[in-house]
Structure 1
Amino acid sequence: MPIDLPMTEAVSDLILASDGSLVRRTVLPGGVRLLTETDTSVRSVSIGMWLPVGSRDETAQHAGSTHVLEHLLFKGTARRSALDIAQAFDEVGGESNAVTSKEHTFYYGRVRSADLPLAVDILADMITSAALAPEALATEREVILEELAMAADDPTDVGYETFLAQVLGPDTPLGRPVGGTEETVGAVTAEDVRAHYAEHYRPDQLVVTAVGDLDHDALAALLLERLAAGGWDLADGALPAARRPDDGAPGLGAGVDAAAVDTLRLARDTEQNHVYLGGPSISATSEERQTLAILMSILGGGMSSRLFQHIREERGLAYSVYSFSAGYRGAGLFGLYAACRPARTAQVVELMAAELEAMGREGVSEDEMRRALGQITGSMALGLEDTASRMGRLGTSELVHGRYTDVDEAIARYATVRAGDVQDLARRLASSFTTRVDVGPAVV
């Protein structure tokens, strides 16, 4: 059974996963949460420090500020310069980076197990003691603007971000792009960044996950030592901050027939049209998320999928064609994508929509169910041989789901999905089309 991860008591939970690995979770002083999985078959550790703040937590005026702050944490602390931080990981053959998403910010490193104290020291120093110097902001702002310009040169980036914004609401916090815009990034001040940092980078918000050759108790002691050295108040008995509320995704079926969806055309001097078609879907915490994963696999998740076989292999109308989905707390979306020469756009769009509609009308075969189950569970099992993937899974368990499910049980849940479940969800998605975005030259 899944094990709930409580927020109301400072205790240490021991969890013996069914594959024999030892997973532990401790709520430390200050409300810091530490989750580890010990794996002595490796000689390395992947460690991540998570803050549940992302672009959906920003105001419209400060859009992109979370991403700016993520960059600035690598630009120096009271004890280290930016070069010191970079060299420290390079000198031990390790790696470090960060990710800002719509709902969280994530700093991580991977090092030899002997170098775990170094990684904890550096990441904790960055989290607690970032310098946030105005001159660093001035320089890094230019780097971020180059990053935005690079994305603007890629029609797939432009199309995907525009599609997300249209489905989720371009004027809503969740619909705004993670990186902000040239205007909002240009307007962010050092005072804005410091205020954002002070509000969200707190002990009761911090989640630390680590997987590899480690000792949970030793890591807990080291983590507390380094966070305290950075000036954080780690009060005994303090509880974690509440998780992000989940009001549930809007109901499906409020869209229109795919042929009736208005097209937002973005002109680009490219050889192909890049087409995104879809609408709202289930949230990240929905009980139907395994059903959606199987549906996406059958529809457009690989070379044996319906979209790939019927549009590329049988008709040769596109090189790249697939389906995708994204889930958030209280919201979600699904999409169909294809890149094709402009003259083929109308036919490709019609065929993509027809495949989803056929799934809802006629259902799926047991052979398709078997292949999808094999693809998903096999990919999951292979991916979790990597300590970084397992470390990320612990973070998702804590921040998104509030419960831990071991790998064997997670795989078993996919086996409970039936063909009728997939057909029912496909039928609802097929009546939920709201958005189409085309990026490329005019259709001829």
Structure 2
Amino acid sequence: MRVGVVLVVFSLLTSSALATAQQDGPVYVVDTGDTLFSISQIFGTSVEQLAEANNIEDPSAIFPGQTLLIPGYLGLGGTLQFNPVRYGETLGSLALRYGLPEGQMGRLNRVLNPQRLYSGQPFVYLEGAGGMPTSERISTLRGQSMLELSAELGIDSWGLVNGNGIEGRRWLVPGELMYAPGDRDATIALPPEFGSITVSPASATQGGTLTIEFEGPNQISGRLGDRPLQVIVAGEASALALQGIHALAEPGLVELELMVDDGTRYSQPLLLRVAGYGQEFLQVPPETLDPANTQPEDELIARVVNMVTAEKLWEGKFVYPSTYFETFPSFFGTRRSYNGSGFIYYHTGLDLFGSSSTPVLASARGRVAFSNLLTVRGNATYIDHGWGIYTGYLHQSQSLVEPGEIVTAGQTIGYVGGTGRVTGAHLHWEVWVGGVPVDPVEWTLAEFP
């Protein structure tokens, strides 16, 4: 009998120990739109490991508010959250912001290169660890001591040391970027010369639009990859750049480098995501594929859409250029094969149904920059909306406007047609941002900037 009791007790203790071991570790609360796959990608695990750790039989059956144990973080407890890394954030500034030592933040995020965080990278942190979400940034002076700086800021020197993660030393390096408690700036690692910079969204997508806003006293310029930014002065101490992302841009990391007028530079990569475009085969008139026709025409339109007007002429979201926008015959970004070629072409706009009696409407207020008959684009009209934003209306049967004319949103500017490189009557609608065609649908859903 004693043996039986001992075995039962041992069995209970073993089961309890196993349950405790399975429950040891941090948790994550499922949010709307989460899947086990997306959660596994963020926390560096797998769907199978998540399902096993949480006794989930059907990986698709998770729900918002559900608490999941995250495997792979032994010795750590609490609730994990994540935010995308913002432009200007480093491992050091994120450690200050979220209140954990830099080394622990690096291990939490499995960071291989602490000097190479990219904008848009999912960054995991421990909820409720404290930290300094906002602060005042100070650039130290030559000969300035820790005691002098803390007295100037009105804070305890130990608080300055601990808050900046520099325990173990009591000296300052001239020009060193320090943080003090405050609510003026987000805790980021941008040099003070840059003021405040906001990049939205934090990561880019093929065919999308990137908004870069600057607040500060200095003039700023920059480039995204090999493309110079078209920076617009938007106020006394503010500027912005709107930049389209090419639909054929290589997914991965692209460098965003910024410069101020004193020569100070800052560079950090952005994540560029694939958009997942489809494919289609088309038969078109051969002359519309002849480089002798296409190249001069492309160069002409490139000159038109790369002119930057300093005045913003549009307001709010763009409207569709036709009353028929429930369905579309062809979407932006679709990879195309013409007359049996490889998929070496792509669709630079959005096609809308219509006939020669269907009016073409201006998508927003602007000034007509071009209106003429072309071989590939047919009867084409391009409207300048200011700040490097253009819309194009192609293949019209006729155009009703002339260059220099101001048009308003919803105004009839022509009629749908079948001119140029077409397989039938339709309207091809383009939106150009910073000299690059982007997905027009995005401009009907959101206001820029």
Structure number with higher relative contact order (C-alpha < 8 Å, ≥ 6 residues apart): 1
Measured against the shorter chain, the TM-score band is under 0.3
- TM-score, structure 2 length as denominator? 0.22
Larger Rg: 2
- TM-score, structure 1 length as denominator? 0.22
Larger helix fraction of residues:
1
